[in-house]
Chain A
Amino acid sequence: MSAPELASPRKLIHSLVDPEAVALQYSVEQFLYREADLLDTWRWRDWLDLFTDDMRYFMPVRKNRLRRQRGESEFTSGTHMAHFDDSKRSMMVRVGQMESGRHWAEDPPSRCRHLFSNVRIDESVGDVHEFGVQSNFLCYRNRLESEVDIWAGERHDILRVSDEGEFRIASRAILLDQNVILSKNLSVFF
């Protein structure tokens, strides 16, 4: 009996990797990097254009719960209070405020770096032409002379492929890894 022939790493990878999945992963990551750029360069209206008209933008309150309480969902819902629970219309109000020149919390604007990583695609999530994307983020904010905030968390997006063949964000739920928000506000977007 001869020993089974071991595949070379290159051949093994080739047999395991689906080129279409690689292409999708690459396209999604490039989309997220462009999004980060829009946020970091204060192009909020262009950023909002990345969302569908029926978008939801949601950031629940993270609760401290014991292991035995963990059955309860982390994502508060219904009439639970959240940090963000926005439609396109209310996001337009937020973006309009950013552009007003009188939103003192962001004028002068914060210097931010949105770093997105650990991008996970789940094609079982969402409707036709939609799929789920989870990513981790680190957002560094430096403001005025010496103020610094660092926010870490996770985003659960549903991306939709538009008629033009572009990605649009149909839904975003953000899990910010803070219970008591440690900054004086959350005046930036994630």
Chain B
Amino acid sequence: MAIDPDELKTLVDWENGQISPRIFIDEEIYRQELAQVFDRAWLFLAHDSMIPEPNDFFSTYMGGDPVIVSRLADGSVTAFLNACRHRGMKVCRAEDGNAKSFMCTYHGWTYDNEGKLINVPMSEEAYLGDLDYSQNGLLKVAQIDSYRGLHFATFDPEAPPLLDYLGDMTFYLDSFLDQTPGGIEFLPGVIKWTIHGNWKMGAEQFGGDAYHAVITHASSFGAYNKRRDRDSNMGEQAALREGHTTGYSLAGTKSELRDILRHEDGEHQPSDDWEAEKLAIAEQRLGPERAKLRGHMNVFPNFSGLPGQANLRIWHPKGPNKFEIWSFTVVDKDAPDEVKRGTQLSATVTEGAAGVVESDDGENWDLIGQLLEQGHRTREMKWNYTMGIGKEDRMHAGFPGKLSRTIMSEGPQRAFYRRWLEFMTSAKWPYTPKSAQAAPNGTGSATVSEHAR
């Protein structure tokens, strides 16, 4: 049963920065979210470097649904539901590998790595020739595409093209993905862990919450980044109409914590040489400002990262009050091996379930989840998202989105929940600026001016 759109609009008053935490705990809202958000939006699947060879595969999720991302012999990438057409059992229980086929271990239905049904045990005796293999392949995603090595897919055939969906976010993504000709690669090994909270807590924090770092991370990040105050005007929060959000500093300062952890000898830092070399290349490619961009971001709905640092991640929903973090460590493909090793060491100490920075995030998200699980008043009390309302007016040539006056603002969170509300309440695909530009006389054009602000 669908939730009344007017009720949802009452819960998510993004314009006035008043949001009800019922959207983080309500079972009905969660089920609607799986259908309205995760079944339609473009979701991040995997990076090229995770499945480099023909027949490589990676097991992941789109919303709550298990999906296999598979590279075919011709080098193309496809994705399909990891659920057998016969009884819905997982056909692949390995998290990655190389396989030309997947056999369901229930009755033995076997599919090739394009998802086609290729073998059914005792097919003749059991189905007497009546089973049409061609109608019983694994369910494919409706669309799949990639941006600079990042593969995304959607279950919605009506979704706009990936580039339209990403919209202006490509400007900010490029500052991370396109610093050097080789771009990025993912180091092997996904750090996966569980938070008893709602996935949106992770997405909104990575999308826009520079504010929490000083206190939440007082014992790690905060303890080593004393220059924060001086830098606060050297960056901003950017809120895009597509619901993608980011915040960043352009001061070019590096985390001292990461630096002291990078290499064991402490004296010569191979990463310093590489950073200097890279900066010169990146300035050519991206301009002097974006080459120094360091921050945090979220691609709506659940793909986040730390641009200019070393992390990308997915917030996989596992119920209204449970999510898994799948954290990937990112390096420059062109970087020397010892620099990659240094990044791996510092990322291991700072990020992940055991990371000195990230372990304190878990404390917040998990405990908030407990309060919402058990309480009534705690569910009814609206949360305050008012920071920077009416002050998202910074002009910054070339930098898209509504920009905040300082690096602290909840403009990104408001933009995220505005988009979330649009997905939750509209039967049609929500307004997407790039698609509207491409088809000015197309459907929905009458509402462009209304939506574009």
Interface residues of A (CB under 8 A from B): 59-61, 63-66, 69, 76, 78-87, 89-90, 93-94, 97, 100-106, 144, 147, 179-187
Can you show 7 pairs from A to B with CB atoms below 8 A apart? Answer: A66-B97, A79-B188, A79-B344, A81-B190, A100-B218, A183-B353, A185-B362
Question: Which of B27-35, B65-73, B271-279, B363-371 is the contact stretch?
Answer: B363-371
Q: Is the CB of A181 within 8 A of B341?
A: no
Chain A hits for B194, CB < 8 A: 180-184
19 further A-B contacts with Cβ under 8 Å, apart from A63-B95, A64-B95, A182-B193, are A64-B94, A79-B341, A80-B344, A81-B188, A81-B190, A81-B347, A83-B348, A83-B352, A84-B348, A90-B261, A100-B218, A100-B223, A104-B364, A105-B363, A147-B366, A183-B194, A184-B194, A184-B365, A185-B360
The answer to whether B349 and A90 have CB atoms under 8 Å apart is: yes
Partner of A85, one of B331, B344, B362, B366: B344
With a CB–CB cut-off of 8 A, which chain B residues contact A94?
Answer: 349, 356
Inter-chain residue pair count (beta carbon < 8 A): 143
**Closest chain A residue to B342, Cβ basis:** A79
Give the number of residues in B that approach A within 8 Å (Cβ atoms): 50
Interface of B is mostly: mixed
Q: Are A184 and B188 in contact (CB under 8 A)?
A: no
7 closest residue pairs by CB, A with B: A81-B189, A184-B362, A181-B193, A186-B354, A185-B359, A103-B219, A185-B362
**B220 part of interface (Cβ distance < 8 Å):** yes
- Label chain A's interface by main secondary structure: loop
Q: Are A181 and B93 in contact (CB under 8 A)?
A: no
B424 interface hit (Cβ, 8 Å): no
Does B163 make an interface contact (CB < 8 A)?
A: no
Q: Decide yes or no whether B216 CB sits under 8 A from chain A.
A: yes
Evaluate contact between B348 and A82: CB separation under 8 angstroms.
yes
Least CB distance from A86 to B in Å reads 7
Tell which of A78, A81, A101 has the most Cβ of chain B within 10 Å. Answer: A81
**Complex Cα gap A104–B344 (Å):** 25
Once the chains are docked, how many angstroms separate the CA of A80 from the CA of B352?
A: 13
Tell which of B266, B331, B337, B363 touches A184, judged by Cβ atoms closer than 8 Å. B363
